Each structure stands twice: as structure tokens, then as C-alpha cells.
Copies of this chain bind each other. A is one copy, B any other.
Amino acid sequence: MPRAKFDEIYRDLKLRIENDEYPQGELLPSENELAATYECSRNTVRRAMAQLASEGYVQPMHGRGVRNIYSPTGGATFIIGGIESFKESAVRNQRNASTQVLRFEEMTVDARFSEKSGFEIGALVLHIIRLREFDDEPLIIDHNWFRRELLPGLTLELAAGSVYDYIEEELGMTIATSKRTITVERATAFDETHLDLKGYNCMAVVTSQTYDDNGMQFEFTQSRHRPDYFRFQDVATRRRQGA
């Protein structure tokens, strides 16, 4: 799979910035210079730059240049970002991960659950509950509901591994977009029996609806995180308020 040129440039610049090859707080080479060194058009450099800006690596300044505003976070906590599987998170956070399947059952969507999940009433879904451990410490309880018709061959054994691998590699399905909501909810008795909450009486909950590239919602998920290990990072850019 030949990667897009702007993506190559984006990755290269990102690595260089992370490795301090550009001085922190200073300007990067101009877009024209970069276009010359990468042997591409300025548009292509700009596309890579937009990507970096959206991730908080650089800050373009009209008429002046593009400033490197990267600073390493250096936290020991579990960082989520993008759409990624538990396994991918574990690798990125350099942890040992393991999974324990607590429940695996089919159910039919009723009115109440339809409202919450976005699935239509009567749909057959697979409900899986999994306990996620990092370095032998249980940190997350994942509740997944998958449309059964889209994942007919999903078994308990597969659920213990990476469902995303199965979906993408076995089924060739493409995961496209996911709408996430972060809230804080009271811990349930179920949470407390499986996690050591360290005195907290609540959980950080990430709820998401995931769509495939046909625009079909195939998943609804609730990830319930032990609050002391939960951290979500984000870079926001301010846009002029409407007149």
C-alpha cells in the first residue's frame, strides 16, 4: 500500500519534532523551503502542516512562520486518543495488557436501549463485557454491543483477543468514524466487584457509537475507567466567533 505523500511528510516532520530536531518554541523552515526539501508542492506541505497543527505540534502564524509548540507530556497514565483498540493502546502506552471476558450473550434491542445506543428496536446484538488489565491491574470494564448480523462469526475466543483485528483483517470491514462522549457516572456494584476503586465512588465513562464505511452503526460501547487512571488529551483551536 503506497502511502500518500502528505502523510509521509507529516510522519517525518512529527518524528523530527518529537526528536527535538527543531528547536522548541522556534520557527520551522518555511513552507517553500520544506516543499523544496521534500520535492513536492507547497500545498502538500501545507496539508501535512494542518495535520500537525490539529494535533498541537505546530502553530502556523500568518506572515511570520510556523512555530514548533511541541512539548512532551510525560505522564504515567493511560492516554486515550483517536479510535484505537485496547491492544493498540497497550502497545502505545508500553504496558502489558490482558483481557478477561466476563459476559458473552445475545440480546434484542428494546425501546430503552435503542434510545441510548442508537440501534433500532428489535435488532439482534451481541453483548460482551470484558475486564481489561494493565500490568495485572484491572483498570477498565468494557461493555460492547455489536450488531450480530455484521459480525456473525464472532466467538468468545475471539472476544478475548482483539475484536478490531477480527473486524478489520478477517472481515475486511473498515472502521470509519466514532462519536464519543465522556461522562462521569456513579460506580455500580458490578464495577466495585471487579475493580479496586481506591475510595472513589464513580467511574470515568467513554460512550461511543462506531460506524463502518457504509455509514452503518455496528457498535455501541461503554468503557468504564477507574478514575485515577483515566486521562483524555485534546488540542483545541479557537475559531473567530460569528459576527
Residues of A within 8 A of B (CB): 1, 11, 25, 53, 56, 59, 61, 67, 69, 71, 77, 81-84, 88, 118, 174-186, 199-202, 204, 208, 211, 213-215, 227-228, 230-243
Contact = CB atoms under 8 A, between A and B. Distances in A.
Given A175-B238, A211-B59, A238-B82, A231 B181 contact: yes
Contact of A201 (B69, B177, B202, B236): B202
Contacts of A182: 182, 230-234
Contacts of A175: 238
B204 A201 contact: no
A88 B241 contact: yes
12 contacts: A53-B177, A56-B177, A82-B236, A83-B236, A88-B241, A174-B238, A177-B236, A182-B231, A182-B232, A183-B230, A183-B231, A232-B232
A120 B45 CA distance: 33
Contacts of A56: 177, 179
B177 A202 contact: no
Copies in the complex: 2
Nearest to A82: B236
Given A25-B215, A174-B238, 11 more contacts: A53-B177, A61-B213, A61-B215, A83-B236, A176-B238, A177-B236, A178-B235, A179-B233, A179-B234, A182-B234, A184-B230
Nearest to A61: B213
In the complex, the 8 A-B pairs of residues with the closest C-beta atoms, listed nearest first: A184-B227, A182-B232, A83-B238, A67-B215, A180-B234, A83-B236, A175-B238, A178-B236
Given A204-B184, A211-B59, A177 B237 contact: yes
A235 B82 contact: no
B239 A82 contact: yes
Nearest to A214: B61
Contacts of A186: 199-200
A178 B56 CA distance: 8
